[in-house]
Structure 1
Amino acid sequence: MAIETASLPLPPSADASKFAEFGREVKGVNPGTLTPEQFKEIEQLLYKHSALLFRDVDLSPEQQYALTKAFDPTSESYGHGNNKTGETKKSILHPDLKTIPRVPQVQLIGNGTVYDHEGLAEAKLKHPSHKSFHKTRVSDEDEAKGVTRFYRWHIDAALYDLSPPKVTTLYGLTVPRGDKQVCRYDDGTGDELEVPLGTTVFVSGKTMFEILPPELKSLAVRSKVKYSPHPYVWMAPAHAKSTGLGIETEGLEMPRDELPPWEESKIKVYPVLWKNPVTGGLHFQVHPCGVSEVFVDPLPEGAKREGALYPDGAHLTNLGEVRELLYKMQRPAIAPNLVYPHDWHEKDLVLFHNRGVLHSVVGAFAPNQVRAFHQCNLAASDDPVGPNAEDVKQWA
């Protein structure tokens, strides 16, 4: 049977014109037993469309690991390092992940207590909640009415020592059903988004770049970001913005001399824009929570200086200024009409191009609501590629 694709079911809130290329449901093929030819087709589809959905899939942890690894055959360890999250108690990721013992590259995530699961006698899972991470929180009264928030917009990546995974696979095993929730931005805009319970939301890094005004496109194509060493430990004492898009600057980050041992050579500096390996398009790929500095190249010779930001280049080290600038560039792309909230069903498998989208978990569950997912991504064998000279010439 030939591989068929269909558009993803968009909610009424989505601007369909912005999702013409984003996301496809794949039919007629079993993702756990792909032939090499089928895999090549799936690989092209993923990089072209950023996210692929397979419905009603039976997938073992071994098959999920093999599928994820096929996108980057020499990659080996889980994206944050095998079992690293368990050892780093101070990391904000620590409560969210449990490792499948026989396939340590696959993590069990979710909510509630799961018994006798893939070699784990008992796993207590905790769905990340904005209440433990944001500076402000939704009131108990509003939460009881189904009001919630984005938790943290991010890329799956250690952002220190290891390279960002190319692909993440998410497989829904136990998916609680419930009333829809209202995700509030609480940033003064009045923006809100109706979402399914426990959704994962995605935005396109390509759209994030394309909707920028010319002066911010010019800035993006000339800029690199520097991440903090051990960024998840560094940010753990701090609080996020109400939109989940970055950190409030309150001076709460862990001082560098209190972080686990780190080396300058392992700190990551990445272009703001990452080049798609199939389409050649540029995706705005910044994890705003972990960034500590921004480097801006000067305008290329012959470029228009009028209205340009930092025409002679810059090195921004003031954390508040860095965050304000990135927020200004990234916030437009999480507008309600640009967000795809996936409505999970049991046995859904979603593959997403981790170097082409940002995503977030959303919502809140009662302690007794059990949700169990398998997640896999692998620290990549190479770093992302940024804009080339032609791209800089075109957009700067």
Structure 2
Amino acid sequence: MSFDVTALPGATFGGLLTAPINAADLIFSAEANPTILPLLLNEFNGFLLIKGMGMLEEKPELFLRLSQIFGTEVESYKETRMAQQNVHPEIPEILMVSNIPPADRKPPAQPNPPRNPDGSLPIQFPHRRGWHTDQSYRRPPPDISLFFCVVPAPKGQAQTLYANGIAAYESLTSEMKTRINSLIGIHAKPGVGRGEVAVRAGEAPIQLGPGDQPQQQPVVRVHPETGAKSLYLCEAGQMDWVDGPFAGIEPGPDGEGADLLYKLMTHFTKPEFVYVHDWDKGDLVIYDNRTLIHAATWFDATKHQRLMWRTTVSGNPGPEYAGETKSWIVP
């Protein structure tokens, strides 16, 4: 069975997979031809949307099998310091992102103001906060994530925004490219007192163990399979504002590095580089963390429930990580 993929409607990047149209056929075809879906993901700039995958809820082992197509390792959240109430009870490789107990994860705050003057959804940083790529505070960082909608919030709430780092890099001026091509960003785990808000508030950073130290990452990553250059950045909450956000540039929230990060993130999240996904039950999104960043939007958790499943796949971060042990695993 062949795969039918068309350009993603309403976006400047990404693909919509329209066949096979059920999860069992999709996984059978993917396992029979394991290189095709990863190649399609690359062809469509690191983003694939597959609708109607409701069978994955009934058979979560199929979600794991599909994830295994995209890399040599699917992370087991039983083996990390992830809060175990957020881990699927049967498949430890599935992270549950939800406000439904026992997970009980709060939605992000609304932007201030919640809407643009024309009534549209705020997209661009710094009006929109929360832009990140998964687990950039680790070395090596993960390659691919798969995100599946089990219980959606109402339309117009709990969207996920995706920004294309390849297009954002390509549109930079030659002067800016020269400035950042060899620049190193310093990424930090959220909630440890090293983000912009905490540093501006004068909070003392938390003493971190060896597995949670901030990690340095290239600001411009070269995709190991396509050779495409992409911006690789997060914003305030996942960069280190104590010693960074960049190595070798004046640190801190009022330093030269902060000014550069704001300029780059404002550019990275221009609406022309962003796709806004409004979730339906059974939607599956596959995205490449090496080239995309994303952000979640608010939903009214006092009235609505939401449940998403995520897997995280590793295996080919690029030659700059060759031979490295996992920074978050301490012998």
State the TM-score bracket (shorter-chain normalisation). 0.7 to 0.9
Counterpart CA distance in 1 for 2:106 and 2:130 is 12
Aligned to 1:129: 108
2:286 matched to 1:326? no
The structure with more radius of gyration: 1
Aligned to 1:232: 190
TM superposition shift of 1:9: 1.7
Letter aligned with residue 197 of structure 1: Q
| Residues 224 and 318 in structure 2, CA contact (< 8 A), matched pair in contact too | no
Q: 1:27 aligns with which of 18, 26, 30?
A: 18
Shift in CA distance, 295/203, structure 1 to aligned 2, threshold 3 Å: closer
Aligned to 2:230: 283
| More displaced 10-residue stretch of structure 1: 271-280 or 64-73 | 64-73
| Residues 237 and 252 in structure 1, CA contact (< 8 A), matched pair in contact too | no
TM-score, normalised by the number of residues in structure 1 = 0.67
| Residues 48 and 278 in structure 1, CA contact (< 8 A), matched pair in contact too | no
| Residues 233 and 259 in structure 1, CA contact (< 8 A), matched pair in contact too | no
TM-score, normalised by the number of residues in structure 2 = 0.79
Aligned to 2:3: 3
Q: 2:200 aligns with which of 250, 259, 269?
A: 250
Counterpart CA distance in 1 for 2:214 and 2:71 is 22
- CA RMSD for the aligned pairs? 3.1
Unaligned runs of 5+ in 2: 321-331
TM superposition shift of 1:249: 5.5
TM superposition shift of 1:65: 2.2
Unaligned runs of 5+ in 1: 88-96, 114-121, 179-195, 240-247, 297-313, 387-396
Shift in CA distance, 76/366, structure 1 to aligned 2, threshold 3 Å: closer
| Residues 170 and 374 in structure 1, CA contact (< 8 A), matched pair in contact too | yes
Question: How many equivalent pairs are there?
Answer: 301
Counterpart CA distance in 2 for 1:155 and 1:205 is 11
| More displaced 10-residue stretch of structure 1: 200-209 or 146-155 | 146-155
- Secondary structure at the residue paired with 1:328? helix
- Secondary structure at the residue paired with 1:203? strand
Q: 1:365 aligns with which of 300, 303, 322?
A: 300
Q: 2:207 aligns with which of 259, 263, 269?
A: 259
Identity between Structure 1 and Structure 2 (%) = 20
Counterpart CA distance in 2 for 1:366 and 1:235 is 26
Counterpart CA distance in 2 for 1:52 and 1:344 is 14
> C-alpha deviations, 1:102-139, integer Å up to 9, x for none?
2122111133x3xxxxxxxx5353342226xx8xx447
1:1-396 pair list within 5 angstroms: 1-10=1-10, 19=12, 22-29=13-20, 30-49=25-44, 50-57=46-53, 58-59=55-56, 60-78=59-77, 82=79, 84-86=81-83, 98-111=86-99, 113=100, 122-130=101-109, 137-138=112-113, 150-157=128-135, 159-160=137-138, 162-178=139-155, 196-228=156-188, 231-235=189-193, 239=197, 250-255=200-205, 258-262=206-210, 267-289=214-236, 290-292=238-240, 293=244, 314-321=248-255, 322-378=257-313, 380-381=314-315, 383-385=317-319
Counterpart CA distance in 1 for 2:246 and 2:103 is 42
| Residues 275 and 384 in structure 1, CA contact (< 8 A), matched pair in contact too | yes
Letter aligned with residue 105 of structure 1: E
> C-alpha deviations, 1:8-48, integer Å up to 9, x for none?
120xxx6xxxx1xx200112234433444533111011122
| Residues 237 and 254 in structure 1, CA contact (< 8 A), matched pair in contact too | no
Counterpart CA distance in 1 for 2:43 and 2:274 is 18
- Secondary structure at the residue paired with 1:125? coil
- Secondary structure at the residue paired with 1:283? strand
> C-alpha deviations, 1:265-319, integer Å up to 9, x for none?
x6422111111233211010112333333667xxxxxxxxxxxxxxxxx444344
TM superposition shift of 1:250: 1.0
Letter aligned with residue 359 of structure 1: H
Shift in CA distance, 384/250, structure 1 to aligned 2, threshold 3 Å: farther
TM superposition shift of 1:251: 4.8
| Residues 220 and 230 in structure 2, CA contact (< 8 A), matched pair in contact too | yes
| Residues 175 and 346 in structure 1, CA contact (< 8 A), matched pair in contact too | yes
Greater percentage in strand: 1
| Residues 154 and 358 in structure 1, CA contact (< 8 A), matched pair in contact too | yes
> C-alpha deviations, 1:46-90, integer Å up to 9, x for none?
122211011101213322223223322145434xx7452328xxx
Shift in CA distance, 267/371, structure 1 to aligned 2, threshold 3 Å: closer
